[in-house]
Chains A and B, each alone.
Chain A
Amino acid sequence: MPINPQQVRAQFPTLQREVRPGIPLTYLDSTATSQKPLAVLQAMDDYYRHSNANIHRGVHTLAEEATALYEDARAKIARFIHAPSARQVIFTRNTTESINLVAYTWARANLQAGDLVILTEMEHHSNLVPWHILQAERGIRLEFIPVTENGTLDLEAYRALLQQSPKLVSFTHMSNVLGSITPAAEMIGLAHQAGARVLLDGAQSVPHFPTDVQALDVDFLAFSAHKMCGPTGIGVLYGKADLLEAMPPFLGGGDMIKEVKLRSFRANSIPHKFEAGTPAIAEAIGFGAACDFLTSIGMDAVAAHEHEITAYALERLEEIPGLAVFGRENPHRGGVAAFTLQGIHPHDVAQILDSDGIAVRAGHHCAQPLHEKFGIPATTRASFYLYSTKEEVDKLVDGIYKVKTYFG
């Protein structure tokens, strides 16, 4: 069923507010973080009001309820990404921590000096810096799949890099700047043929279109709740069971152990091996509720709605003289339009749009190397989600014309 934006919007309290008296919010910054529906707020509130207790160790009623809610959330998330089992879903703080978990455990156990890790030029800093750190510490080698002028990855260059027997390929399923959706299934297949493991950054893909980790055959997938209607402070690392079982633990402490002696410990089984200490229980429950919410609408419908809004936005933005959308030529794109406006700095664009209640982002969006490659220090980015409307796009366009008159 196609999305009815007004029905969807009614579920989001922030979308009802005014930024200043008489000026409603036009929220076009969902790529940074999405707004939260009532169902998610309610699930977290219910947990704190009725079932608040620490999980796993208690035998009292509340502890059992809390444990059941927490594990139930894990199962919902597993179903959402079509994971074979819930124990392959590890709770982290966010995508960044999930990527770091792989870099600190799997990579330190499996990569030696000189081993090659392939990344791309369009990665978010969270999929660059953990590998820079490992490069400094271990002497691993990094190579980058180039981004072409039209915002796609250069797959010929990728095939050539695969000849060098990489150990890991780590890349984003969707760029948070260009909106480019990468051909993940094909790239994963090629990596496996070359004997490499694959870590997929799903921060922008899992929230916006259906994800099936088994169909993708991906080794690791990282994503964050806060970009998909869930709370901040919780994310997931999905991994293939044999890999997760063989990996050393990440942080040490309570919950991640089977047994502790004064001078030694035995690690717990997955997923608990990677979840040291009291986790973000309410947030995990909120994450589960967000998956339920998105499933009730249908991820195909979410993707179709965003596609329609984005196509409309690109068409309208291109009417504006002096405006250039970053990576415009790529047809395989999600709901992101990063643009430059000739002679006007993105900060000024964003600030003037804010006076009309329009929330966009200005800067390098944690993808500084990508901006440098194209010789642009910063862009203004509008992004869309299941609650975005064509009227909001029209407001954006009117706002940009206003910016131009200020600076005209």
Chain B
Amino acid sequence: MDDLYREIIIEHYKNPGYKGHLEPHDYAFEDSNPLCGDHIEITLRVGADGKVAEAAFDGHGCAISQASADLLIESIIGQPLEDVKQLNKQHILDLLGIDLGPVRLKCALLSLKVLKAGLYGMGEAPDSLVE
């Protein structure tokens, strides 16, 4: 497990690089995982080239949910919005570098769900977005 809490997760949890709230922003969305009270908000600015210029997350929750949010934001900056819209579960698992059981997977995927629901302009973030 010491796998699971690989330094990288603890590091991003304790010292996130992209925590905050962008004002103004082009996209904003938030959602929570009712099972454990994890909460994530993502704000994002898009450049004239259609790429993610800046992004930030805010929220609270377990190390997995917060670290994956930070890693996710790091990974999308400079990427074309259209590519970001296509990201799925595997992207998060690759970033974390670990396998997760079904319960913790929900924590890990919360930020991606929030991001995609925001980009697609959806009222709610369904699980099917990240499968």
Contact = CB atoms under 8 A, between A and B. Distances in A.
Q: Are these two chains actual partners, yes or no? A: yes
A355 interface: yes
Given A345-B63, A347-B62, A347-B104, A377 B1 contact: no
Contacts of B126: none
Interface in A208-240: none
Interface stretch (B2-10, B19-27, B69-77, B115-123): B2-10
Given A347-B64, A351-B104, A377 B36 contact: yes
Contacts of B64: 347-348, 351
Interface string A369-408: 0000000011000000000000000000000000000110
B35 interface: yes
Contacts, number: 46
Contact of A354 (B1, B37, B61, B107): B1
A407 B10 contact: yes
B107 A352 contact: no
Find the residue from A347, A368, A377 having the highest chain B CB count within 10 A: A347
Main secondary structure of the interface of B (DSSP, over half): loop
A249 interface: no
Contacts of B35: 363-364
Main secondary structure of the interface of A (DSSP, over half): helix
Contacts of B2: 355
A399 to B, nearest CB: 12
A270 interface: no
A346 interface: yes
Contacts of B104: 347, 351
Given A345-B63, A347-B104, A406-B10, A377 B5 contact: no
Interface residues of B, number: 18
Contacts of B61: 345, 347
Contacts of B14: 407
B1 A345 contact: no
Interface of B: 1-2, 4-5, 10, 14, 34-38, 61-64, 103-104, 107
13 contacts: A346-B62, A347-B36, A347-B61, A347-B64, A348-B64, A351-B64, A352-B1, A352-B5, A355-B1, A363-B36, A377-B36, A406-B5, A406-B10
Query: Which 9 pairs from chain A and chain B are nearest by CB?
Result: A377-B37, A355-B1, A345-B62, A347-B62, A348-B63, A378-B36, A348-B62, A378-B37, A347-B36
